[in-house]
Structure 1
Amino acid sequence: MLKYVNDYCSNAMYLLKIDDDVFVNMPQLTNFIQNDLSPNYTHNLIMANVKKNAPVFRETESKWRVSPEEFSSNVYPTYCPGWRIIYSMDIVQYLYRQSQNTAVKYFWIDDVFVTGILAAKLKDVHKEIGPLTVTNTMVKRYLKESAKYSCFVFSSYSFDINQNGPLMEFLHKQTACFSMANLLDYWMNK
């Protein structure tokens, strides 16, 4: 992905990497990028759920088990789970260059490898995306209540596909309303 975007999309400002079970509120995403993100954060950005000091799973029964030989530390570097991430293009280019560095040892958990290990030397690039996200439980409430709840960009992972149609219909009637000021307050107080 990093190679493709670096080679063929180098004029883009951002890369959105998203899993197929995440709902994207496109009007709100467009509003957020144009009016809030672009004036403030066109560089040095990995925006996702930020995991700090996450423990390495050593239990033998976990599918995410990592042996000490694979990863010696008991905690991962700050990283982002990959179900929805916004990257600024300078970061995409940096991560791609780092991935080509033969001194960097490949690690099989791609989220940790790309947004953690490859990005480890970068300072203050990981920004929390939580305030832009709605859970499946919240979606059900949104469909029953007022427009004040339509200010989200992403669903959480494993979005209930049965909610897709009703949610699209609901959002079609709403106007974009998110402000980066809320995120800036959130980031400053973390």
Structure 2
Amino acid sequence: MAQESQWELVWLLRSDPAPQPSMKGLLLILVTSAPGNSEPRQVIRRTWAAHEGPRAPQWQSVFLVGQSADIGVAQGIQREQQEFGDILIGNYQDTYRNLTLKVMHGFKWVAERCQPSYILKTDDDCFVNTDRLPEFLLEHNTIKTGLYAGSLFSREKRQVIREPSSKWYVSRQDYHLDEYPPYASGIGYILSLDAVERILWAAEHVHPIPVEDAYVGILAERAGIQVKSSARFAKHNVRWRVCNYRYLMVIHHLSPQEQEVAKGSMLQARSACHDSLEVTRWK
């Protein structure tokens, strides 16, 4: 199917069955996940997506999953959704090149059905500090509208890749400039609800490209939203200390075992490191 007709589907996508998050909550976490990634989803459900603590009712997580050509995998997704009720199933083929469709589908669903104050987009190989992020948004964040924050790429890494064999390939016809505007890495970025709505508006006027995070940056620029650089979103998984979990909000590239360890460090950080001053800014 051609990219244009695939893109038109995003405005007609069904979610059957659809998760039912609480309306008007503080934070909704959208997690992109491949249909066959049942183990990462299970690990997330029992680690950072498990509702624990006083802030739990103010946030929820939802997995974004597309269609699988494997009938067994597709049936497994339906059973998983029936059991957990936390998967938004889109009517598009789940491929890397369709990641833009997946995220825009999630944004549209959030804007129309949920309307939380903030949306975090992340991936299923990332750890989200759900013990700190909701509290930070509620008590310390001063940017209530037009918020778009994450880990930015340097200018040299924003060059458009024209090599057809690359999974990040974008033709000059799809995007004529040689450099993307500043944008936050897809490992995790946070948006206020109005920013999501303005990005969806811009998407009606800007041709899509199959590089999801860069496309969101293009739409944000079109909508007049300036991305904010934040070191709280870590592109790399290193040997983080317990005290780092008083600061970091998203960490990329964790194995299932490392997710378990990270959860333990997150909980331990509640009572540890009180001799150090907590940072209450995005930087």
How high is the TM-score relative to the length of structure 2? 0.54
**CA-CA distance at 1:132 after TM superposition:** 4.4
Query: RCO (CA 8 Å, sep 6+): is it higher in 1 or 2?
Result: 1
Contact 1:3 1:96 in 2 (8 A): yes
**CA-CA distance at 1:13 after TM superposition:** 0.9
Cα gap change, 1:175/1:87 in structure 2, threshold over 3 Å: closer, same or farther? Answer: same
Contact 1:77 1:120 in 2 (8 A): yes
**CA-CA distance at 1:116 after TM superposition:** 2.1
Question: Does structure 1 residue 127 correspond to structure 2 residue 238?
Answer: no
Cα gap change, 1:171/1:78 in structure 2, threshold over 3 Å: closer, same or farther? Answer: closer
**CA-CA distance at 1:8 after TM superposition:** 0.9
Q: Aligned partners of 1:74 and 1:8: how far apart in 2?
A: 37
Cα gap change, 1:13/1:76 in structure 2, threshold over 3 Å: closer, same or farther? Answer: same
Structure with the higher fraction of residues in helix conformation? 1
Among candidates 123, 129, 145, match of residue 43 of structure 1: 145
How high is the TM-score relative to the length of structure 1? 0.77
CA RMSD of the aligned region, Å?
2.3
Q: Aligned partners of 1:2 and 1:164: how far apart in 2?
A: 26
SS at match of 1:138: coil
Among candidates 217, 226, 239, match of residue 116 of structure 1: 217
Question: Does structure 1 residue 107 correspond to structure 2 residue 209?
Answer: yes
SS at match of 2:152: coil
Cα gap change, 1:80/1:174 in structure 2, threshold over 3 Å: closer, same or farther? Answer: closer
Q: Aligned partners of 1:132 and 1:55: how far apart in 2?
A: 21
Q: How many residues align?
A: 170
Uncovered stretches (5+) of structure 1, i.e. residues with no partner: none
**CA-CA distance at 1:52 after TM superposition:** 5.5
Percent sequence identity over matched residues? Answer: 23
**CA-CA distance at 1:160 after TM superposition:** 2.5
**CA-CA distance at 1:19 after TM superposition:** 0.7
* Cα-to-partner distance string for 1:116-148 (whole Å, 9 max, x where unaligned): 221123446201232343742223xx2xxxx43
Q: Aligned partners of 1:36 and 1:169: how far apart in 2?
A: 24
One-letter amino acid of the counterpart of residue 238, structure 2: T
Instruction: Summarize the alignment of residues 37-186 of structure 1 with structure 2, pairs less than 5 Å apart.
Output: 37=141, 40-51=142-153, 53=155, 54-101=158-205, 104-113=206-215, 115-123=216-224, 125-133=226-234, 135-139=236-240, 142=241, 147-151=242-246, 152-156=248-252, 158-175=253-270, 178-181=278-281, 183=282, 186=283
SS at match of 2:257: helix
Uncovered stretches (5+) of structure 2, i.e. residues with no partner: 1-105, 272-276
**CA-CA distance at 1:15 after TM superposition:** 0.7
Q: Aligned partners of 1:58 and 1:134: how far apart in 2?
A: 24
SS at match of 1:81: strand
Cα gap change, 1:19/1:61 in structure 2, threshold over 3 Å: closer, same or farther? Answer: same
Structure with the higher fraction of residues in strand conformation? 2
Among candidates 124, 129, 132, match of residue 28 of structure 1: 132
Contact 1:18 1:83 in 2 (8 A): yes
* Cα-to-partner distance string for 1:40-64 (whole Å, 9 max, x where unaligned): 0111111112236410112344221
One-letter amino acid of the counterpart of residue 7, structure 1: E
Cα gap change, 1:178/1:16 in structure 2, threshold over 3 Å: closer, same or farther? Answer: farther
Q: Aligned partners of 1:179 and 1:73: how far apart in 2?
A: 38
One-letter amino acid of the counterpart of residue 108, structure 1: P
One-letter amino acid of the counterpart of residue 45, structure 1: L
Cα gap change, 1:13/1:29 in structure 2, threshold over 3 Å: closer, same or farther? Answer: same
**CA-CA distance at 1:5 after TM superposition:** 1.1
Contact 1:56 1:75 in 2 (8 A): yes
